[in-house]
A and B are shown apart, each in its own frame.
Chain A
Amino acid sequence: MSRQLEQTYAAFMRGMYDSVDDAQAEKWVLSTHKRSATDQLSTYRGSVHAGLQKALADIYPAIINGLGEGNFRRLAMDYVNAHPSTSSNLDDYGAYLPAFINQHPALSELAYLKYVARLDWAWHRAFHAEDSAPLNAALLAEGLQQNMENMPLAVAPGCELITSDVPLYDIWRMNRNLIVEQQIDLQAGAQSCLVWRLGFEVCVGLADPMDQAIYSAFKKEARCGTKTPELLSKFDQEQVAAGLVKALSHQWLISHDKHA
């Protein structure tokens, strides 16, 4: 492979994310009577940007609703310029949008928006996450009675806890059109959310302190007995048992123990 091919690709790819070198295109693109070298290159730049902006729009519907389509388009353009794609898989694109929103000068007044973006992103990742087999209810009951201590537990693939200091659950649901539009009091207090998949349906729910403690305890797989002292230091035994049953039955907590 020649140096010329490498230089051509490097120049082409620079042109996909920046128009500053467009005049240089005359050196390697063949102009025609209908279209200049710059025009030809800009067709590709337009296509690349449109594809990435569409990927963002597909992943962040609540942000589109929150900002309006015109503002979202401007945000997406800024993001694409700042964060070129680094993966063949378009489902990987847009991971940094919540942080980008947090640092965007024009959005500094909308402090809640970064959390909404994190929730949209978590929803997207859960949708594409690895499938996990639910624990059979009868085995679960048996396991809880007999062998809970040794049961290996882990948060399900794609399950994510989004903590926030705003009424995130209400804001997000309103912007995903899941509840009738209403006035939301941004000072109403913090809400944290759990995102997980039940079968092929992505679920978003309020995460109470028990849920959050279980999530933290089993973010990495662990035998139940190794984590119960930590949970029992904050909650009583009845609360812990009820919390684990709820998490297992909602399927955001899973067990890989075939004998459980």
Chain B
Amino acid sequence: MAAPRHILSSVSGAGIGLRSAHYEAILDEIPDIPWLEALTDNYLNPGGRPLAMLMAVREHYPLTLHGVGMSLGGIDPLDASYFKALRGLIDRVAPVYVSDHLCWTHHAGVHSNDLLPMPYTEDALRHVTERIRQVQETLGREILIENVSSYLSYQASEMSEAEFLAEVVQQAGCGLLCDVNNIYVSAHNHGDDPLAYLDCLPKEAIRELHLAGFADQGDFLLDTHGAAVHEEVWQLYQEALARFGPVPTLIEWDTDIPELSVLLAEREKAASLMREVDEQAA
């Protein structure tokens, strides 16, 4: 197999999430996007059109891989078959970053296929830190962990999510993918201060920011990835840029996926805000 055209150690600027609805449009138009992020779990099957499309896109763009299946906070043993397939995908794609979430997804062999929050305790901290080290050793590379949106708090928690996340990153030696929308959604749901959350994060570990849309369910916000980025989240994003600088940023859209042009417009808005931060710093 020919070596991918893009083997990079970092990405910059604003990218978009690669979704199957846009394969043709992206490959036909090759729009001016600095990088794309693929959902790892959509490409772990051994063959077929999705993988072929991913490799075709790979010829034109740097890629990052973002997954939901590691269950880093889980108790079940790490799924050897999952990591074997992931290693194979990493070898083929040569992604700039590999990321997953600070959460758990299955227990005692029963899966939720969803991102379930962890209790933020010292015990859980030791556990997830060790798991992340194990994963990084297995994959032979740094991974990024992302904060999840949450709708539930545990009585057992001993620290805030931001404190927990910062400790995990420091102790495990992994990178941080800071999802600005998730911070906003969780802060709203739990009555927390999103700016205090940003202030708590280790700037030097942040490799990537995520932006997406949520749905207002009345008494809580639901992270749907099915709408444009909300104004309040854009404002929080500007706060994040002011603190962390122009960190590579991704627009995610997973449900009710619109035309590619809509994503590109959102991407351009993020890129424009990043340029402003760059200019202010210059």
Report A's interface with B, CB cutoff 8 A.
1-2, 4-6, 8-10, 12-13, 16-17, 27-30, 32, 34-35, 37, 39-41, 43-44, 47-48, 51-52, 55, 84-91, 93, 127-132, 157, 197, 200
CB < 8 Å: which of B111, B124, B190, B220 contacts A84? B111
* Complex: chain A residue closest to B127, CB-CB: A1
| Minimum C-beta distance from B39 to chain A (A) | 11
| B residues lining the A interface (CB < 8 Å) | 41, 44-50, 52, 69, 71, 74-75, 79, 82, 104-114, 116, 119, 121, 123-124, 126-127, 151-157, 190-191, 219-220, 222
Q: How far is the CB of A43 from chain B (nearest CB, A)?
A: 4
Residue of A nearest to B190 (CB): A32
A28 touches B108 (CB 8 A): no
Report the separation of the CA atoms of residues A40 and B186 in the bound assembly, to the nearest whole angstrom: 12
Contacts of B46 in A (CB 8 A): 128-131, 157
- 4 nearest A-B residue pairs (beta carbon): A131-B47, A88-B69, A128-B45, A200-B49
| Given A34-B219, A200-B48: A29 touches B110 (CB 8 Å cut-off) | no
A6-B75, A130-B47, A200-B48 as given contacts; A41 in contact with B152, CB under 8 Å: yes
* Chain B residue, CB-CB nearest to A84: B110
A30 close to B107 (CB less than 8 A): no
Chain A nearest CB from B148 CB (Å) reads 11
Residue pairs across A and B with Cβ atoms less than 8 A apart, 15 shown, are A1-B127, A13-B110, A16-B110, A29-B152, A34-B220, A37-B152, A43-B222, A47-B114, A48-B114, A86-B111, A88-B71, A128-B47, A128-B48, A130-B47, A197-B48
Other A-B pairs, 18, CB within 8 Å; known A88-B105, A88-B106: A2-B123, A4-B121, A8-B154, A9-B75, A13-B107, A35-B219, A41-B152, A43-B152, A44-B112, A51-B113, A88-B113, A89-B69, A89-B82, A128-B48, A128-B50, A129-B46, A130-B46, A200-B48
CA of A39 to CA of B121, assembled, Å: 23
Cβ-defined contact, B113 with A85, below 8 A: yes
Contact B106 A16 (CB under 8 A): no
